[in-house]
Structure 1
Amino acid sequence: MFTVIGAIPRGKVASYGQVARLAGFPNYARKVGQLLKHLPPESTLPWYRVVNSQRRISFASDSDKFQEQKQRLEAEGVTFSGTNLIAKQCFWE
């Protein structure tokens, strides 16, 4: 799964389920989230490029992690609507 996450291009996002499927583990979307939750702080894996299937960041919108993830994505050119919905064209195909 880490290899798939590392392959998500700059400026694109993928869903937890998409990462699981591409890694050969369909129906293991929650496992992707669990793995990302335990990344060491010094990891260079682009964890912030993984979002939920509703095209949204999974962290609470008032949390520091939400703000960090959104800022990182915006810095790469990912666009959001006023309701924090990620633009369809930003999803990795």
Structure 2
Amino acid sequence: MKKIMDEKLIYEILSVVEEIPEGKVATYGQIAGLIGRAKNARLVGKVLSQAEFYGRYPCHRVVNHAGRLAPGWQEQRFLLLEEGVSFKDANHVDMKENQWEC
């Protein structure tokens, strides 16, 4: 049986994340769709949780479908604010204003 998470898939996900422009955000599902795996948003989240082992990627620009920040990652909000991303409240990005149109 083939491993679900091989290095080719990991770098495919990370290459999409690398394309998210500064000041914009994408969702886990959006990234999954862009790599042809629309039903694998959780897989994208798993890869991003381990991204530091593969290099430097702007993973802070990825949020859930409602714009919610990753739980327990306090730095994410600060990094997004530095890029000019606007928020609806303390934990949710304003998706209408900031979602990456790819």
Q: Shorter-chain TM-score category?
A: 0.7 to 0.9
Query: Aligned pair 1:77/2:67, yes or no?
Result: no
CA distance in 2, matches of 1:42, 1:22: 20
Alignment-mate amino acid for residue 89 of structure 2: G
Q: How does 1:1-93 map to 2 (within 5 A)?
A: 1-40=13-52, 43-59=55-71, 63=72, 65=73, 67-87=74-94, 88-93=96-101
The alignment's C-alpha RMSD in Å is: 1.5
CA distance in 1, matches of 2:88, 2:65: 16
CA distance in 2, matches of 1:41, 1:76: 24
Query: What is the number of residues matched between the two proteins?
Result: 88
Q: Percent identity?
A: 41
TM-score normalized with structure 2 length? 0.79
TM-score normalized with structure 1 length? 0.86
Which structure 1 segments of 5+ residues have no match? none
**Structure with the largest fraction of strand:** 2
CA distance in 1, matches of 2:63, 2:20: 12
What SS does the aligned partner of 2:21 have?
A: coil
Alignment-mate amino acid for residue 82 of structure 1: D
